[in-house]
Amino acid sequence: MFASIMLIVMLALLATAAIAQAIDPLPFRDHAEELRFQHLTSELRCLVCQDEDLADSNADFARDLRHKVFELMQQGESDDQIKQYLVDRYSDFVLYDPPVNSRTWLLWFGPLLMLLAGGMVVVYTIRKRTRAGTPAAPTENGDDW
């Protein structure tokens, strides 16, 4: 049992070693480039963290990857090229915006299918209830709102 306490302490120490580097001033050419960088890093996953994006992560790994993204931007690569560069190395897992392909069609079109199915049920219900009879005339005393 004491071991588990020690483990917690060790984990805490490890976390300490790699913290507080998310704030990372980089020499951007102009504000537009900075905005582009902020947008891009917020759509990329810090692979060693628990569900954090690159922009907000304190991990060393995230900082290195942020700097790589910055470097690629300086070389004039487009957002898509930079994403492709990262996907080639770290798979689609790095993208918070999963690409539409055979594995993700359910993810992207599932809500649409649910909406269509639900919509048909709603239309069916309304039609049935419309035909069920003349809707009762609402009372006009103002309490039946």
Partner 1 sequence: MTPELGQLALILALLLAAAQCALPLVGAWRGNRALMAIARPAATGQAVFVALAFAILVSAFLRFDFSVQYVAANSNLDLPWYYRIAAVWGAHEGSMLLWVLILNVWTVALALFSRQLPEVFVARVLGVLGFISVGFLCFILFTSNPFGRLLPMPPDGADLNPVLQDPGMTFHPPVLYMGYVGFSVAFAFSIAALLGGSMEQSWVRWARPWTNAAWGFLSCGIVAGSWWAYAELGWGGWWFWDPVENASFMPWLVGVALIHAQAVTEKRGSLRAWTILLSLFAFSLSLLGTFLVRSGILTSVHAFASDPRRGTYILCFLAIVVGGALLLYALRAPKVAGGKAFALVSRESAILIGNLMFTVAAAMVMLGTLFPLLGDALNLGKISVGPPYFGLLFPLLMLPVVLLLPFGPYLRWGKSDAPVLKQVLVRVGVAAVACAIVAAFFVQGQLKAIAGVAGAVWVGVGVVLYVVKRWRDMAPGRRYPAEMAGMLLAHVGVAVFLIGVLLSESLSVTRDVRLAPGHVAVVGGYTFRFDGVTQATGPNWVAEQGVVTVTRNGAPVAVMHPQKRTYSHEQVQTTSAIDPGVTRDIYVALGEPMDANHVEGAWALRLYTKPFVRWIWGGGLFMMLGGFVSATDRRFRVKRETEATQTVTGVLQESKA
Q: Which residues bind partner 1 (CB under 8 A)?
A: 1-2, 4-5, 8-9, 12-13, 15-16, 19-26, 34, 38, 42-43, 45, 50-53, 55-56, 91-98, 103-104, 106-108, 110-111, 114-115, 118-119, 122, 125-126, 128-130, 132-138, 142-145
Give the nearest distance from C-beta 135 to partner 1 in angstroms.
4
Q: In sequence order, what are the residues at sequence separation of 6 or more whose Cβ sits closer than 8 angstroms to the Cβ of residue 58?
A: 18, 19, 20, 21, 22
Q: What single-letter amino acid sits at 130?
A: T
Give the nearest distance from C-beta 82 to partner 1 in angstroms.
15
1 forms beta bridges with: none
* Residue placing its CB nearer to partner 1 in the complex, 78 or 122: 122
Question: How far is 64 from 113, CA to CA, in rounded Å?
Answer: 41
* Residue placing its CB nearer to partner 1 in the complex, 76 or 140: 140
- CA-nearest of 26, 21, 29 to 46 is 21
Please say whether the beta carbons of 113 and 121 come within 8 A.
no
* Residue placing its CB nearer to partner 1 in the complex, 21 or 81: 21
Give the nearest distance from C-beta 119 to partner 1 in angstroms.
6
Give the nearest distance from C-beta 24 to partner 1 in angstroms.
6
- CA-nearest of 61, 41, 38 to 49 is 61
